[in-house]
């Protein structure tokens, strides 16, 4: 009641330090910089990279806790404990080690599948490892949780459970197909004794991962945001190539590309070009989804988060989150899949399976969620129910071990 | 001409700084790629990683 409904004056709380965008804007105005350069620096670089770097404190807390779990010997135990559960679903405990490493980064996770001797199990592990959210997906999860779900802690926790569920469901379904059938390999490992880790080791591990994240934001993400800003702020108007105003962004080169592919994602509930482009740029590096949202939704009257909250509903936001969590990983991880599979056919199958699985799950979330919230699409609902029935059939279909040789063998 | 340059000197300096940063990033990424290191890897210090030998086999082969 003090200010009669108005926001508090920040100066009342002590020395007021304006944000980095305000300080840089002041410098640019003093340097008399043109509109395009101010836009590039403020909306492109600071909007995009800043959106990613804003999550550094949360990332450091996560890395600190992960480093503690690794250093005290718990991670080795959880792999052993999960062997029994994984075995029921056709995966060996050896598959959990790559998944565990994959929580940091999918590339060494995929590489870690080399310890699995059985080729069919190794292929299946490579295909499912990147379902678990890697460090690069955390800013994206945090952005969706903060902007659309009011900072609910269940979103980020749920992302890991969704990843684990996707691995288990895929494990069960794939094991019942011919190329992946067979008993999982036994799992033997030496468990280290529990011990209290040294503070220095935990802090060093946290810093190394955190610094890697910051360096990534300052290199590949910065370059991507510059390119994205250029593509989203320039376009053809009345036959001439020109810089576009805030209200003309829909005519940009990026919008033309995004509109060309956005129809694919319309059944998932987010058929707008910005979300379609963000999903594609996420293939460069998953943090890029946040950077892209910062560039495309920032810069206007509303903040990036406020615009996101106005564009997505709870259901469509969750569908967007799940699709980007489960779909194909970044190009670097795809390269690792190619190296480990050592086959273009299997690489293509792995990426197609990941994208297809993500699409089906996101479609079911949007159609069933839409039906429950009064946004019923009868055809979409029927399709998603059929897909769920198909998945349930694969899940509960009895497993049959092949006892007949069906291949033709030449006997010399 | 000189007057135009003088009035836009701030823009030139900012552009030069931006171009220098972008060039440095590209050079750094190319150098990393040539060394066989991942450009977008997120795993922290590769020296301490158990899978370092698999990711950086070019380096390990050289050494």
What is the ipTM score, two decimals? 0.74
Average pLDDT score over chain A: 86
3-state secondary structure of A252: strand
Q: What is the pTM of this model?
A: 0.81
The helices-and-strands tally (H runs, E runs) of chain B is 4, 0
Mean pLDDT across A14-36: 85
Helix ranges restricted to H, A282-343: 288-297, 304-311, 314-326, 331-341
- The lowest-confidence range among A275-279, A370-374, B54-58 is B54-58
Confidence of residue B62 (pLDDT cuts 50, 70, 90): very low
Set of chain B residues whose Cβ sits within 8 Å of the Cβ of A209 = 42-44
Contact status of A219 with chain B (Cβ, < 8 Å): yes
Tell me the C-alpha to C-alpha distance, in Å, between residue A339 and each of A107, A268, B41: 11, 32, 16
| Residues of B engaging A, defined by a Cβ cutoff of 8 Å | 7-8, 10-11, 13-15, 18, 21-22, 25-26, 28-29, 38-45, 48-51, 54-55
In this predicted structure, what is the pLDDT of residue A159? 93
Average pLDDT score over chain B: 73
Instruction: Give, as one character, the DSSP assignment of residue A248.
Output: G
Contact status of A222 with chain B (Cβ, < 8 Å): yes
Contact status of A304 with chain B (Cβ, < 8 Å): no
> pLDDT over 90 for what percent of chain A?
27
Interface test with A, best of B37, B44, B55 (most A CBs within 10 A): B44
Is pLDDT at B41 greater than 80 in this prediction?
no
3-state secondary structure of A269: coil
More confident: A18 or A346: A346
CB-based burial, A277-295: b 16+ in 10 Å, e otherwise: bbbebbbbbbbbbbbbbbb
**Facing residue for A332 by CB, picked from B7, B21, B40:** B40
pLDDT tens-digit series, residues A150-194: 888 899 899 999 999 999 899 888 888 888 877 776 777 788 888
Mean pLDDT across A381-396: 92
Continuous segment of H or E residues that includes residue A236: strand A234-237
């Amino acid at each position: 009641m003090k200010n009669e409904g108005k926001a508090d004056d920040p100066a009342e709380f002590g020395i007021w330090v304006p944000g980095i965008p305000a300080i840089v804007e002041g410098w640019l105005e003093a340097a008399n910089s043109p509109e395009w350069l101010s836009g590039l620096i403020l909306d492109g670089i600071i909007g995009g990279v800043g959106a990613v770097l804003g999550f550094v404190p949360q990332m450091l807390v996560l890395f600190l806790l992960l480093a503690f779990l690794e250093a005290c010997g718990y991670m080795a135990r959880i792999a052993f404990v999960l062997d029994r559960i994984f075995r029921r679903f056709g995966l060996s405990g050896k598959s959990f080690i790559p998944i565990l490493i994959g929580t940091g980064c999918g590339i060494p996770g995929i590489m870690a599948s080399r310890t699995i001797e059985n080729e069919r199990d190794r292929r299946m592990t490579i295909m499912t490892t990147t379902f678990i959210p890697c460090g690069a997906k955390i800013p994206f999860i945090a952005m969706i949780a903060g902007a659309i779900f009011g900072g609910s802690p269940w979103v980020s926790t749920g992302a890991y459970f969704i990843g684990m569920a996707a691995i288990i469901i895929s494990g069960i379904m794939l094991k019942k197909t011919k190329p992946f059938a067979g008993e999982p390999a036994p799992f033997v490992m030496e468990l280290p004794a529990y011990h209290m880790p040294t503070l220095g080791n935990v802090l060093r591990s946290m810093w190394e991962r955190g610094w890697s994240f910051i360096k990534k934001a300052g290199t590949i993400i910065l370059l991507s945001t510059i390119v994205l800003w250029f593509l989203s702020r320039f376009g053809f108007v009345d036959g001439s190539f020109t810089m576009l105003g805030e209200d003309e962004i829909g005519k940009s080169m990026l919008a033309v590309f995004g509109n060309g592919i956005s129809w694919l994602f319309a059944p998932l509930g987010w058929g707008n070009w910005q979300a379609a482009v963000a999903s594609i740029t996420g293939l460069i590096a998953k943090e890029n989804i946040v950077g892209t949202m910062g560039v495309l939704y920032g810069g206007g009257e509303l903040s990036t988060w406020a615009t996101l909250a106005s564009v997505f509903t709870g259901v469509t936001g969750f569908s967007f989150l799940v699709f980007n969590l489960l779909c194909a990983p970044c190009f670097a991880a795809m390269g690792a899949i190619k190296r480990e599979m050592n086959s273009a056919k299997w690489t293509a199958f792995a990426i197609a399976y990941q994208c297809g699985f993500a699409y089906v799950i996101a479609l079911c979330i949007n159609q069933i969620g839409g039906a429950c919230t009064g946004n019923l699409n009868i055809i979409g609902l029927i399709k998603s129910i059929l897909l769920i029935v198909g998945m349930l059939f694969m899940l509960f279909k009895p497993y049959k071990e092949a006892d007949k040789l069906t291949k033709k063998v030449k006997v010399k | 001409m000189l007057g135009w340059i003088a009035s836009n000197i701030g823009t030139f300096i900012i552009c030069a700084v931006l171009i220098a940063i972008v060039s440095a990033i590209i050079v750094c990424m190319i150098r990393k790629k040539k060394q066989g290191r991942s450009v977008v890897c997120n795993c922290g210090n590769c020296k301490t990683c158990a899978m370092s030998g698999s990711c950086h086999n070019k380096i390990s082969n050289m050494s």
